[in-house]
Amino acid sequence: MSQKVVVIYSGGMDSFTVLHKALQEGNEVLALSFNYGQRHVKELEVASNVCKQHGIPHKVVDITAINQLLSGSSLTDDIEIPEGHYEEESMKSTVVPNRNMILLSLAIGYAVSQEASAVYYGAHSGDHAIYPDCRPEFVRQMDVVSKMANYEPVAVHAPYLDVDKNAILADGLKMGLDYSQTWTCYNGRDKACGKCGACVERLEAFAANGVEDPIPYEA
- Residues placed in the known binding site for ATP: 9-19
Give the containing element (helix H, strand E) for 29.
Answer: strand 28-35
Determine the Cα–Cα distance for residues 143 and 161; give it in Å rounded to an integer: 13
Which residues does 210 contact at the CB level (< 8 Å), separation at least 6? none
Please list, in sequence order, all residues whose beta carbon lies within 8 angstroms of the beta carbon of residue 134, skipping any fewer than 6 positions away: 100, 123, 124, 127, 128, 158
Binding-site residues, in ranges, read: 9-19, 185, 193, 196, 199
In the chain, which ranges are continuous DSSP H helix?
13-24, 42-54, 99-113, 136-149, 165-174, 197-208
Residues annotated in a binding site for Zn(2+): 185, 193, 196, 199
Nearest alpha carbon to residue 208 among 182, 173, 160, 176: 173
* Cα(10)–Cα(62) distance, integer angstroms: 13
Closest among 213, 216, 120, 99 to 166, alpha carbons compared? 213
Coil, strand, or helix at residue 155?
strand
